[in-house]
Structure 1
Amino acid sequence: YGKALTEHFLDMCEQADAESAWLEVRESNVNAFNLYEKAGFNEVDRRRNYYPTKQGNEDAIIMSYLFMSFS
């Protein structure tokens, strides 16, 4: 469902003439990170130690998707 939901989200953004889409994912959520990367998102920043865990903290990875505009 994750791939279908991501594709639908990007389709909706494109229909709305969005220039970009942004999301945030926990660094430990490798499956989600890989899904977003395969969909065309790129890591652009990190919020260091953003999420608390039992072992301390982990980063939030900020990702963006840029829509190509030919107008």
Structure 2
Amino acid sequence: ILEAECLKIVEGSTDPTKDSEPDKDELLQENSIDILKTALQKAVDEEDYERAARLRDQINQLKNNL
């Protein structure tokens, strides 16, 4: 969904085998939620309710993973 909204999250790790810190993962999820909320509001404003429902579901899924 983020890619569909033309948004990308870039991880700062240069070593793909190194585990990322949980704090960074939580910050990325919280940032993603904020981005998705903005996209959700835009979808509602444009009356694109199918996209809004998909965004809402994605937000709820991310919140449950926190």
Give TM-score, length-normalised by structure 1.
Answer: 0.30
The structure where strand makes up a greater share of residues is 1
Higher share in helix: 2
Return the TM-score normalized by structure 2.
Answer: 0.31
